[in-house]
Structure 1
Amino acid sequence: MTGNGTQEQAADRAAAGTGTLLLGAAPIGRPDDASPRLRAALAETPIIAAEDTRRLRRLTSDLGVEPVARVVSYYDQNEKARAEELLGELLAGRDVLVITDAGMPGVSDPGYRLVVAAVAAGVPVSVLPGPSAVTTALIVSGLPTDRFTFEGFPPRKQGERARRLAELAAEPRTMVFFEAPHRLAATLGAMAEAFGADRPAAVCRELTKTYEEVRRGPLGELAAWAEEGVRGEITVVVGGAPAPEGLSDPADLAAAVAAREAAGTPRKQAITEIAKENGLPKRVVYDAVVAARA
């Protein structure tokens, strides 16, 4: 279908009374960070899909809002089925507000499936912008903000986590991660191993809350600190890889490829990456690997 066809379809459905999908950014700490638009949507939207209905009740109580909505649960385990149900409500002309425990729906929280379905069906989608742990942590970290990448939660299993971090070892942009407090020490230790113990980072805990804490330092030091135990909502910001100085000696090239292989990268891919990073033809790196194994 052409772009014009999709726009015409959306216009037809809007004219027929299609509802609007609203994605509301919830406070990540202090209730008074809620925007006026979110307050109004909580009070007026006929259907609210909440990640945790108890936390929603607490938020509306703190804000002095009395919802008129039918409130339904919308979390990871029921997201697929609930998205189909909510799309039906939207197509029937009823607005739906999606709100998660904190921050923006769809960012490591439920919401993405419903947005995709709504867009495909020509249902209007609108965002009520507001607090975000990702950008809040990035700004307060003291690390470069001109280019960054959000990596969500690292894998829980040790092997999968090591492979994922190895893939990011040469990432030049600042990286933002979420992590559970009981896994923080292990993750920081794995990051120190993959990125280097001296890589600068910041652990942001309980952002905007009473006991907000931002701990900055090299990954090795942060990993040792976290071994003592950490509580609260955690966002980790890690500096990007420094620009490579460039390898040319065959032994150094072979060693770089071997290090990538040890981290789980296939040899062919490792050769391609090392060649690209050092501005060399793949054949040069390949020959260096062969020579080292001779």
Structure 2
Amino acid sequence: MKLLRYGDQGAEKPGLLDSDGNIRDLSAHVSDLAGAALLPESLSRIAALDPAALPLVSDSPRVGPCVAGTGKFICIGLNYSDHAAETGATVPPEPVIFMKATSAICGPNDDVRIPRGSEKTDWEVELGVVIGRTAKYVSEAEALDHVAGYCLVHDVSERAFQAERAGQWTKGKSCDTFGPIGPWLVTPDEIADPQNLAMWLNVNGEKMQDGSSSTMVYGVAFVISYLSQFMSLQPGDIISTGTPPGVGMGLKPPRYLKDGDVVELGIEGLGTQKQRFVADA
């Protein structure tokens, strides 16, 4: 299934994308795509519904973040060997973990705000994993049983905030609107292999990233298992699993986003995003 949330910001409704690409309203069956609605039994009940019997959303509403109520937005850094190389870093012996503030989450096609004082706002297309049931001390073999679905994530970064000022990466990753997710939450039955998905990103129509999740250093199952040794993962938590090469900081000379730039990105089977970057007042 492809699940989504649609409507004005802060008032999104749950929906399902039918086989013809139409949005069907799920409000009579779940209040939102959050918490208990992401449990395996809840997703099974939704899957058993006849999409044609659900109310058709006839207009073209804004598409919001594909999950709600996210408690943790966890990111994995330097998780593609070729991306690590372009940034001058070595592949870490264990996954690099950092947090992105949940207040950064926005819809897949919402404007992204370039924060005050930013000179190095950068792009990163990433595969997102949404947790569907609590994971704590899980093995790698059972890790994928805890996945509600996959989604497209744009891990927007401000490199000067991230790396050139004292402290951790979080402040360069957590600016408002720096976490577009969606358009869809795609359930695992539609993703045969999360480690074999083409991914790409364009800036103003120019291809900048053209990679595959097959070049991840630490795969999805390993990352879930690894994280669950340090913290419990709850329904609605998002794990953003890293980016392939082609980011702005890796270019020679580096290139960063400015007011008016348009970024488009996508992952095979997970849809596309398109954002206009706008200088914050």
Q: TM-score range by the shorter chain?
A: under 0.3
* TM-score normalised by structure 1 residue count: 0.24
More strand by share: 2
Is the radius of gyration larger for structure 1 or structure 2?
Answer: 1
The structure with higher relative contact order (CA 8 Å, sep 6+) is 2
* TM-score normalised by structure 2 residue count: 0.24
